Amino acid sequence: MSERETSFWGWGYADKFPSHEARKSFGGQLKAMLGFEPSGPYDPPTLESVRVGESRVTAPVSLPFVTADREARVRHTYGRAFRDIVRGFHGDFEIAPDLVGFPKTEADVVAALDWAADARVAVIPYGGGTSVVGGVEARVPAGYAGTLCLDLRGLDRVLEVERSSLHARIQAGATGPVLEKQLAAHDLTLRCFPQSFEHSTLGGWLVTRAGGHFATVYTHVDDLTASIRAVTPSGVWESRRLPGSGAGPSPDRMLLGSEGTLGIVTEAWMRVRPRPRFRATASVHFGEWSDAVSATRALSQSGLFPTNCRLLDRREAALNFVTGDGSHVLLVGFESADHALVPWMERALELCRDHGGRLPKPPAYAERDEKSGDQGVAGAWKAAFVEAPYLMNVLVSLGVLVDTFETAVPWDRFDALHADVVTSVRAAMQEVAGGGFLSCRFTHVYPDGPAPYFTWIAPAKRGSEVAQWDAIKSAASEALMRNGATITHHHAVGRFHRPWYDCQRPEPFARALRAAKRELDPSAVLNPGVLFDP
Amino acid sequence: MSERETSFWGWGYADKFPSHEARKSFGGQLKAMLGFEPSGPYDPPTLESVRVGESRVTAPVSLPFVTADREARVRHTYGRAFRDIVRGFHGDFEIAPDLVGFPKTEADVVAALDWAADARVAVIPYGGGTSVVGGVEARVPAGYAGTLCLDLRGLDRVLEVERSSLHARIQAGATGPVLEKQLAAHDLTLRCFPQSFEHSTLGGWLVTRAGGHFATVYTHVDDLTASIRAVTPSGVWESRRLPGSGAGPSPDRMLLGSEGTLGIVTEAWMRVRPRPRFRATASVHFGEWSDAVSATRALSQSGLFPTNCRLLDRREAALNFVTGDGSHVLLVGFESADHALVPWMERALELCRDHGGRLPKPPAYAERDEKSGDQGVAGAWKAAFVEAPYLMNVLVSLGVLVDTFETAVPWDRFDALHADVVTSVRAAMQEVAGGGFLSCRFTHVYPDGPAPYFTWIAPAKRGSEVAQWDAIKSAASEALMRNGATITHHHAVGRFHRPWYDCQRPEPFARALRAAKRELDPSAVLNPGVLFDP
């Protein structure tokens, strides 16, 4: 775990939060971009000033790694959705967990689960605490004596590497930088870079089916997983480390996406790879959105498997300072540890040109020494990408609503989905906030459909932010549902997506999964309220 | 369904079984290749002469598509493992199902399941009847009033095509040729070619996680699946048609590999593709097995994603008439509907040469008119591939034991696994048959390991074939287990792999899956004995 202090109410490191003056100046610039002037800046609470519910449970002496310390409880109350950050900003930590545990070993996890099942205390597995769907929120249904948040970041080591198979056994509590640093010592990398990379953990990625670095083929962390080990209240679950199998339904695929409801993942064998040596990147501009979508579809169906295939609409392109000329921009990238990429990129750009794409600059090709780190365009992109969530802290402090939501849908349904989302979310912003900004990009693409990712920003009414957010979120989610899309492509379900997830999943499957849950967790102590009711 | 008559005891079409004289001549040639002389040929039984158990159940009048007809029962008694064919060859159909149903609609399937649950009759879902693991064998645990085999080939239509998303909604009972013919009318193809392709069905592929055409990336039918619809005794299960999702554990992944124990798949949205236009093929020869394995590993880890990457050891190469010069042969292929493949093949061959590979002939490149069918080398290979199982009929009639088994294992464990399998299977053949032949190929490869496929052939003791087969199968399976491999990569579990599957799967997962089964199938009528005991 890093020693650098993190914000107790907002995203990431505390020292990244700008001064009142800097935020005021930034707020003044927002009108040009978003069309409204924020009411802030307001100042964040101090740790001493926030309201925290009384702990209802005494830390058991048998579990020395468990504490009822006030600050620990505050820091483990919420994830990092807008809904969470705004509550933290207002100093509301009433639903703080009663206890927080910091296990250092799998035996600690087993002991904590045993105790919790006896004491009927709900256990909330916690990695980086970066959930944007209420997955780690200490809010559980009635009937529990209390809540215990288990912070797994003490289990943070790469335990074993099998070089010829490109496998690494990694503990679930390792954050992105912590595990990548250990893999780099072997000249290997997992290359799973969710936007939360700096703070989120391998275990969190696995149980939420995180979206990684690759825009095609190996998009979800699911595909990077060779086996998983988890502690359940009914014993340890460990699958065989395999490159593939057809022996019954996949055990790993039941844990992937289980969001801490079936067991607590303690380690996994992951599929790692040599660090890339060759890179090719290009930005293709389009005047028409429909052309940009067609080009992206053609590329997704070409079998070229680009590493990066991110389409930004003109608003996203402007918001991210990619271009201000009103173009939609498709970022195309290839990378390889094995071969130069000219033929791949040339064919990709030919496809883009066939669909009306223009290249302001020729594609860039880079080859680097195998041991150096991420550099150049890709490095800059990655840096900007992981910085983006910090903007939410600033916007919250300015009195601005902001959120992102994402989905996946077949190509044949995309146009209708996009039109409906634009209409519905704009109408909802108009109704509850008097207007707002909405943009769209694709984060991943498949031969059969894109994973669109939307960002919306609207003026907040101070004190009513959660209700406003709920209304806009609901409008967005309803639009996804009625257009045959998924409620989430890689943000998970948690507590916030439950109503729509419940209607999306097949009812017999819901019953089967609930039966599996009852078998594994008969006391129903594991993350109750997430995925299903206990 | 084809009108051409199929063998009631052996693989495939009846008219493909050679005459006594032809088999006698073939038997005489076997000694040179296998090192032993077969005791046959013997002649197969007639339909009239076989022994069939009495039907214990009367076909219900409410289900007009269900019959107790003797021939229908005989034809639905077994799959097509050696163990099945040899029992059929000996005229042993004592365990024939009591009833056979031929539903034409999903409503028929629902009605059959409802009746069976009430009557406590076990239901065995049946597609092409090509299981090699006892998956459709009418042998169920005690406690059932009888067995009903549901032959789903009446549900054989492509119902819908979404061209822009490359999606097709296909009924589960469509065999490979039947569904490909309907897709060809749209210039599309599923390109899932298990060796059983001519006879097996989409539903069978889905519930057994069949291995398809592609040696890399999209290897299992799992990856070609956008959504599944199944009838369970607790209602209809249908997932949303999506290119990707992160909303909880995947519902489809619970049905994939469920082998008819959780529900009966009636249709699925599959990911289809334009028919390939460009092809590149090459055969690389190696003097040393270890070099051939290293080259294959390098290719699997290159990110080139060859369509074909099949390594044949020198015995496989000779057995399949690929070469008789003692070389191990790596068959490398690329195909694309989008782009010419020269740079891909050139880099692949460079990797092979770096590991000691030789090219007797330069690689072949072909481009064809988009509308023509499979031709040339690929067509010939495919034809030979689907012909191979017919050899089992002939060998059984000659008094020869034969089987294939397959697995997957990380690269770091492959050498030990291979050595152990060779030693153990040869020792078992020596012990129960006085010797035999063993060869190995890779059918699929992953960056983290190969899927090796073994063929063994040994002299049979007439009347003891099943016991001999069981002993050799057991030796092979034990070797897989103790070397960390999977009991099956794409042949499924069925009834024959149960002992090893039971030890492979994580125990909490087994309990969870059993609980899911109880919830979905409370009367436990669905394929009892497969995957788990009811």
**Cα dist from B260 to B11, B103, B270, B528, whole Å:** 22, 16, 19, 9
Find which of A273, A509, A531 to mutate to test the B interface (most B CBs within 10 Å of its CB).
Answer: A509
At residue A1 the predicted structure's pLDDT band, cuts being 50, 70 and 90, is: very low
Q: What is the mean pLDDT of residues B381-406?
A: 89
Residue B217 region by backbone torsions, left for phi larger than 0, else alpha for psi between -120 and 50, else beta: left
Which of B163, B217, B241 is facing A217, going by the closest CB pair?
B217
Token pair, residue A166, equals 């490109």
**Are A339 and B303 in contact (CB < 8 Å)?**
yes
**Domain contains B292:** yes
Average pLDDT, chain B: 94
**Domain contains B47:** no
Considering the domain architecture, whether residues B162 and B270 belong to the same structural domain is answered as yes
Q: Is B336 on the interface with A (CB under 8 A)?
A: yes
List the alpha helices (DSSP H) in A123-265: 176-184, 202-208, 251-255
For residue B365, the enclosing domain spans 278-372
For position A534, what pLDDT does the model report?
A: 73
**Are A486 and B234 in contact (CB < 8 Å)?**
no
Residues of A in Cβ contact (< 8 Å) with B449? 165, 242-244
Question: Which run of H or of E encompasses A425?
Answer: helix A411-433
Q: Shortest Cα distance from A370 to chain B (angstroms)? A: 15
Rounded to whole angstroms, the Cα distance separating A332 from A296 reads 9
**Are B520 and A506 in contact (CB < 8 Å)?**
no
**Domain contains A332:** yes
Considering the domain architecture, whether residues A245 and A172 belong to the same structural domain is answered as yes
**Are B505 and A251 in contact (CB < 8 Å)?**
yes
| B344 Cβ neighbours under 8 A, 6+ residues apart | A343, B280, B304, B306, B334
At residue A357 the predicted structure's pLDDT band, cuts being 50, 70 and 90, is: very high
Q: Shortest Cα distance from B248 to chain A (angstroms)? A: 4
Q: Shortest Cα distance from B283 to chain A (angstroms)? A: 21
Considering the domain architecture, whether residues B295 and B221 belong to the same structural domain is answered as no
Considering the domain architecture, whether residues A259 and A309 belong to the same structural domain is answered as no
For position B1, what pLDDT does the model report?
A: 45
**Domain contains B495:** no
Rounded to whole angstroms, the Cα distance separating A250 from A227 reads 10
CB pairs under 8 A between A and B: 303
Q: What CATH number has the domain bearing residue A184? A: 3.30.465.10
**Are B484 and A246 in contact (CB < 8 Å)?**
no
Considering the domain architecture, whether residues B264 and B310 belong to the same structural domain is answered as no
- Mind listing the pLDDT tens digit for each residue in A297-317? 999 999 999 999 999 999 999
- A226 within 8 A of B229, measured Cβ to Cβ: no
Considering the domain architecture, whether residues A304 and A330 belong to the same structural domain is answered as yes
Which of B244, B351, B507 is facing A408, going by the closest CB pair?
B244
Considering the domain architecture, whether residues B261 and B295 belong to the same structural domain is answered as no
For position B369, what pLDDT does the model report?
A: 62
Which of B220, B337, B410 is facing A167, going by the closest CB pair?
B410
pLDDT at A372 over 60: no
For position A381, what pLDDT does the model report?
A: 61
- Mind listing the pLDDT tens digit for each residue in B119-130? 999 999 999 999
Q: Is A383 on the interface with B (CB under 8 A)?
A: no
Q: What is the ipTM of this complex?
A: 0.96
Rounded to whole angstroms, the Cα distance separating B401 from B8 reads 20
**Quick count: other Cβ atoms within 10 Å of Cβ B390?**
17
For position A369, what pLDDT does the model report?
A: 62
Over pLDDT 90: what percentage of chain A? 90
String of DSSP letters for A386-401: HHTTHHHHHHHHHTEE
Q: Is B128 on the interface with A (CB under 8 A)?
A: no
**Are A411 and B271 in contact (CB < 8 Å)?**
no
For position A193, what pLDDT does the model report?
A: 93
- Mind listing the pLDDT tens digit for each residue in A10-54? 999 999 999 999 999 999 888 887 888 899 899 999 999 999 999
- B103 within 8 A of B150, measured Cβ to Cβ: yes
**Domain contains B3:** no
User: What's phi and psi for A161, nearest 5 deg?
Assistant: -135, 130
One-letter amino acid of A133: V
For position B400, what pLDDT does the model report?
A: 95
- Mind listing the pLDDT tens digit for each residue in A189-226? 999 999 999 999 999 999 999 998 899 999 999 999 99
Rounded to whole angstroms, the Cα distance separating B217 from A447 reads 13
Q: Which residues numbered 469-488 in B keep a CB inside 8 Å of some CB on A? A: 484-488
Q: Shortest Cα distance from A486 to chain B (angstroms)? A: 6
Q: Which residues numbered 181-240 in B keep a CB inside 8 Å of some CB on A? A: 208-211, 217, 219-220, 226, 232, 234-240
**Are B253 and A255 in contact (CB < 8 Å)?**
no
Considering the domain architecture, whether residues B210 and B255 belong to the same structural domain is answered as yes
Average pLDDT, chain A: 94
Is the model more confident about A332 or about A29?
A: A332
Rounded to whole angstroms, the Cα distance separating A395 from A456 reads 12
> How many Å separate Cα A529 from the centre of its chain?
19
User: Of the candidates A309, A339, A372, which is a domain's last residue?
Assistant: A372
Considering the domain architecture, whether residues B213 and B315 belong to the same structural domain is answered as no
Q: What is the mean pLDDT of residues B172-198?
A: 96
Looking at the structure of chain B, the number of domains it has is: 2
B296-305, B322-331, B473-482: least confident range = B322-331
Find which of B132, B163, B166 to mutate to test the A interface (most A CBs within 10 Å of its CB).
Answer: B166
User: Of the candidates A259, A274, A289, which is a domain's last residue?
Assistant: A274
Considering the domain architecture, whether residues A270 and A162 belong to the same structural domain is answered as yes
**Domain contains B469:** no
For position B378, what pLDDT does the model report?
A: 55
Q: Is A369 on the interface with B (CB under 8 A)?
A: no
For position B386, what pLDDT does the model report?
A: 79
List the alpha helices (DSSP H) in B374-410: 376-387, 390-398
Q: Which residue of B has its CA nearest to A220?
A: B246
What 8-state DSSP symbol labels residue B187?
A: T
Q: Which residue of B has its CA nearest to A270?
A: B448
Considering the domain architecture, whether residues A268 and A282 belong to the same structural domain is answered as no
- Mind listing the pLDDT tens digit for each residue in A463-472? 999 999 999 9
Indicate the pTM of the whole model.
Answer: 0.96
User: What's phi and psi for B247, nearest 5 deg?
Assistant: -90, 85
Stated length of chain B: 534
**Domain contains B259:** yes
List the alpha helices (DSSP H) in B145-199: 176-184
- Mind listing the pLDDT tens digit for each residue in B447-468? 999 999 999 999 999 999 999 9
Cβ-count burial of A207 within 10 angstroms (0-12 exposed, 13-18 middle, 19+ buried)? buried
Q: Which residue of B has its CA nearest to A341?
A: B343
User: Of the candidates B327, B347, B372, which is a domain's last residue?
Assistant: B372
**Domain contains B290:** yes
Token pair, residue A428, equals 């909802």
